[in-house]
Structure 1
Amino acid sequence: MFKYTYRYFLFFLLLLAGCKESEVMPRNSLTLEEEQLLLGNPSGATAEKSNQSNYLITKPQYVLSYSRERGTPNWVSWHVTQDWLGTADRQDDFRADPALPEEWYHVTASSYRGSGFDRGHNTPSADRTKTAADNSATFLMTNMIPQAPKSNQELWANLEDYTRGLVRQGMEVYVVMGSYGRGGTGSNGSAKTIDNGRITVPSRIWKVLVLLPEGNNDLERIDSSTRVIAVDTPNTNTVRTDWGTYRTTVDAIEEATGYNLLSRLPEKVQQVLESQVDKGLTR
């Protein structure tokens, strides 16, 4: 009896050792980094310093493609489940990301100061509240874009709340969010760049969400009937607060960005899901 008890104890210790960066357990036999990028790498980003406009950064909490020239992520990909939602406080520890090559310019917590634009999260703080470390990871500046305050605090906050509400009702959601273009309008008026030209202000902000009932083998469970929400909004302070009015197709976002979204799905499933405008509830 002692022999088996000892084996179970060792197994438990190994599980704990594998959760140093995040206490969230990986799902479907994937690493946490693989979980965040399950639906594909939209731009074919790589972790090579020479790839300055499409530099891949992987974290347990999210995965992103970063542009050195723009000083922002091109896109960020993450997975929202009840496992990720806990009681950790909002850390508010905005800071430079040490994952960037040392010789690159590092956007800092003060880089947006006085710009009239919010430090707009891609992966929301409230999507990562399992632990303080998970929440803190969302405040790295590689997860931020210059976002008009009304866009950030109202329209996108409404969509983020809606997403977490679905998760609390038993859904799980795969999300990819990004931005493109040049020039937005914040509380101080229009601007194409901030931080002495080192950070580009995007003109458009988009998001794609794939919704599933909570379960396993997620990739295999996505079919032509799966609900997919695609949204593309202007980055202005006059944006409407109802995100549903900005719904579009995944195809339209791909055409605007040049990305290949949902690339790990079968081609026939992609064709159906990417051509449809969602007509589901928005609250």
Structure 2
Amino acid sequence: MATLPETRASMANRAGYDQGFLGPTVPLPVPTDPVIETVVLPYTHFSVVFRPDRRLATATAVTIDGVKLIDADRDDDWRFDPRLPDSQQAGNPVYKNNPLDRGHLVRRLDPVWGVGDEAETANEDTFHFTNAAPQMDIFNQGKELWLGLENFLLDHAEQFDRKLSVFTGPVLEDSDPPYRGIKVPLRFWKVAAFMQDGELAASAYVLDQSPDLSRDAAARALADAARAGDPPPLGAFRTFQVPVADVAEVTGLDLGPLPDADRLPRAVRAEKRWTQLETLQDVVV
């Protein structure tokens, strides 16, 4: 747990995401629309591409060294990043007295590796509001699958490099339901990159927490909740494996070499087929 208040100066030593971590260069995801303003915030072993207009990240990027991972204690000391005005970040008022969790975008333990204070600093860095987005607090099978993806892919990578670069964020739509000064994302995305047989490989996923209703009924429920000032009536998590190119399309992000490194069969990619996952054994890597 941090013992001194953070300042711009105390955060100045954060190196952030390493785009050469895997060997081939894999850059940070950035919006393809030049009108969208973002701020890149480096932390320890990860970076956040932040959209002040939405008070949320549009993308995060973390490097995971599976051989050096350390099991650090959870501190739950959520705080604002001093490099941005508090008013541009979605803080505790968004999550107070409702069924919304502060969902980590960079999973807490993913960047927690290294020597000395490095791992502990990475652990603490994940508890900035810039690394959170509202998710339903109900733990269900879909959420369990989503949270287990990095472990599954690390286990798969063990026979290769046992390193991952993982990119995660909310799908930020103009139609997302408003609540307490933000718009709550209904979908999240994740792309994992790793080396396989000497080549860059990638695998992509989408988590959907849309209301479990027909499209029209869901739209009415979301609108009614917004008028009443209530949190959106979100549904159970559904996790899909999708073509990497589809993530680039729905998010408007430039994912660099990752769409061409997709491990899904070409026929699946050509059909833009989304496969709902029931277990981690359904994942194609």
Q: TM-score range by the shorter chain?
A: 0.5 to 0.7
AA at the equivalent of 1:43: V
Among candidates 156, 171, 177, match of residue 192 of structure 1: 177
Matched-pair identity in % = 21
**Cα distance, 1:124 vs structure 2:** 0.6
Aligned to 2:121: 133
Equivalent position SS for 1:251: helix
Q: 2:27 aligns with which of 24, 27, 40?
A: 40
The answer to whether the aligner puts 1:234 opposite 2:195 as a matched pair is no
Aligned equivalents of 1:36, 1:114: Cα separation in 2: 42
SS for the counterpart of 2:237 is coil
1:71-82 to 2 correspondences below 5 Å: 71-82=55-66
Residue matched to 2:150:
160
- Contact 1:177–1:207 (Cα < 8 Å) also in 2: yes
- In structure 2, the CA distance between the partners of 1:21 and 1:179, relative to structure 1 (3 Å rule), is same
User: Residue 69 in 1 paired to residue 53 in 2?
Assistant: yes
Q: What TM-score, normalized to structure 2?
A: 0.65
Unaligned 5+ segments in structure 1 are 1-19, 23-30, 46-50, 185-190, 215-220
Q: Deviations over 1:190-246 (max 9, x none)?
A: x8233x2x22211211101112269xxxxxx434xx3x2111121243224xx4xx1
Given that residues 78 and 123 in structure 1 are in contact (C-alpha distance below 8 angstroms), is that contact kept between their aligned partners in structure 2?
A: yes
Letter aligned with residue 134 of structure 1: A
Root mean square deviation of aligned Cα: 3.6
Mapped pair 1:210 → 2:193: yes
Which structure has the greater CA radius of gyration?
A: 1
> CA separation in 2, counterparts of 1:135 and 1:208?
21
SS of structure 2 residue aligned to 1:157: helix
Report what 2:82 is aligned to: 98
Match of 1:231, as an amino acid? Y
1:94, distance to aligned residue in structure 2 (A): 0.8
Task: Map 1:1-283; keep pairs closer than 5 Å.
Answer: 33-35=17-19, 38-43=25-30, 53-82=37-66, 85-100=69-84, 102=85, 104-130=87-113, 131-149=119-137, 150=139, 153-166=143-156, 171-182=162-173, 192-194=177-179, 196=180, 198-212=181-195, 221-223=198-200, 226=201, 228-236=202-210, 237-240=235-238, 243=239, 246-261=240-255, 263=256, 265=257, 270-271=259-260, 273=262, 276=265, 281-282=281-282
Q: How big is the shift at 1:21? A: 5.7
Any stretches of 5+ residues in structure 2 without a counterpart?
Answer: 1-11, 114-118, 211-234, 270-274
Letter in 2 for 1:232: V
Work out the CA distance in 1 between the residues paired with 2:91 and 2:259: 38
Partners of 2:36 and 2:250 lie apart in 1 by: 21
AA matched with 2:145? L
- Partner secondary structure for residue 193 of structure 2: strand
Distance in 2 between residues matched to 1:167 and 1:274, nearest whole Å: 13
TM-score by length of structure 1 reads 0.66
Deviation at 1:107, TM superposition (A): 2.9
- For 1:272 and 1:76, the matched residues in 2 are separated by 19
Aligned to 1:15: none
Q: Which whole-Å CA distance do the structure 1 matches of 2:124 and 2:72 have between them? A: 10
Q: Render the CA deviation track for 1:33-85: whole Å, top value 9, x for unaligned.
A: 4348851132259xxxxx87322212232112111121110010111113551
